[in-house]
Amino acid sequence: MANPANQQQASRTAHDLLVRRLPGSRKGTVPAHLQRAVHIAETIWRRWQVGPYQWQVKHLRWYLVEETAHLTPGTRYRHWLTARLLVFALQTEEQWRPYLYGPWVRPTGEAGKLKTGRPTKRPT
């Protein structure tokens, strides 16, 4: 896929990547994830001028470290959930997963290893 020419194309690509694949309520969680995905794509495009199909793990890591630093732990967690869905939709989850861990992986902001449990809902 070609590199998007502007930030609107990058955000549209991220939106289209997730729009029909997201599990959850079409009135609550899905619009929130789509809004965050658009924000993530626009922010990364402004910094590096690359769209979702050109992303590398460093782009999402930078977003989670730098751009969510001022947010509350719960909000950072929601941004991480959306980034994780984008990574899954891009089919790069296995390679990128170890690099996307940080204080944002829990709503409380606590560090530590994630426990196994119920499988996460992922885009189909």
Q: What is the pLDDT of residues 88-100, one digit of tens each?
A: 999 888 898 888 8
Tokens of 60: 């999402």
Burial of 116 from C-beta contacts in 10 A (0-12 / 13-18 / 19+): exposed
pLDDT higher than threshold 60 for residue 1 = no
How high is the pLDDT of residue 68? 95
How high is the pLDDT of residue 51? 92
pTM for the structure as a whole: 0.85
Half-sphere exposure for 45 (CA within 13 Å, toward CB): 21
- DSSP annotation of 67 reads I
Mean pLDDT of the chain: 86
